[in-house]
Amino acid sequence: MSAPASSGTASAFARTRAEGRAALVGYLPAGYPDVDGGIDALRTMVAAGCDIIEIGLPYSDPVMDGPVIQAAVQQALDNGSRIEDVFRTVEAVAATGTPALVMTSWNPVEAYGVDRFAQRLSDAGGAGLITPDITPDYAPDWIAAADERDLDKVFLVAPSSTDERIAMTTAACRGFVYATAVMGVTGVRATTSDLAGPLVARTKATTDLPVGVGLGVSNGEQAAEIAGYADAVIVGSAFVRVLAEAGTDRAAGLTALSALTEDLAAGVAGGAAR
Partner 1 sequence: MTEHAVGEHSADERGWYGGAGAFGGRFMPEALIAALDELDVAWRAAMADPEFTGEFDRLLREYAGVPSMLYDATRLSERAGARILLKREDLNHTGAHKIRNVLGQALLTKRMGKHRVIAETGAGQHGVASATAAAYLGLDCTVYMGRVDTERQALNVARMQLLGAEVIPVESGSATLKDAINEALRDWVATVDHTAYLFGTAAGPHPFPSLVLSFVRGIGDEARAQCLEQYGALPDAVAACVGGGSNAIGLFAGFLDDPEVAIYGFEAGGDGVETERHAATIHAGKVGVLHGARTYVLQDEDGQTIESHSISAGLDYPGVGPQHAQLAASGRASYLPVTDAEAMDAMALLARTEGIIPAIESAHAVAGALRIAEERPGQTILVNLSGRGDKDMGTALDYFDLGKAGRA
The residues that touch partner 1, with contacts defined as CB under 8 A, are 59-64, 66-67, 70, 74, 77, 82-83, 106-112, 132-135, 137-138, 140, 155-162, 165, 169, 180, 182-185
Residues forming beta bridges with residue 55, ordered by sequence position = 28, 102
By beta-carbon proximity to partner 1, the closer residue of 70 and 255 is 70
Alpha-carbon gap, residue 79 to 55, rounded angstroms:
17
End-to-end CA distance of the chain: 32
Cβ atoms within 10 Å, residue 1? 3
Amino acid residing at 195: L
By beta-carbon proximity to partner 1, the closer residue of 19 and 78 is 78
What is the radius of gyration, based on Cα positions, of the chain?
Answer: 17
By beta-carbon proximity to partner 1, the closer residue of 236 and 271 is 236
By beta-carbon proximity to partner 1, the closer residue of 2 and 162 is 162
Q: Are 257 and 242 in contact (CB under 8 A)?
A: yes
Question: What's the closest the beta carbon of residue 163 comes to partner 1, in angstroms?
Answer: 12
By beta-carbon proximity to partner 1, the closer residue of 74 and 207 is 74
Cα angle for residues 160, 165, 166 (degrees, 5° grid)? 80
Question: What's the closest the beta carbon of residue 158 comes to partner 1, in angstroms?
Answer: 4
Q: Which of 51, 54, 152, 231 is catalytic?
A: 54
Q: Which of 65, 85, 152, 231 is catalytic?
A: 65
Q: Give backbone dihedrals phi and psi of 147, rounded to 5 degrees, phi first.
A: -60, -40
Question: What's the closest the beta carbon of residue 90 comes to partner 1, in angstroms?
Answer: 15
Question: What's the closest the beta carbon of residue 203 comes to partner 1, in angstroms?
Answer: 12
DSSP category for residue 51:
S
Question: What's the closest the beta carbon of residue 87 comes to partner 1, in angstroms?
Answer: 12
Alpha-carbon gap, residue 15 to 55, rounded angstroms:
21
DSSP character string of 26-37: EEEETTSS-HHH
65 is catalytic: yes
As annotated, the active-site residues are: 54, 65
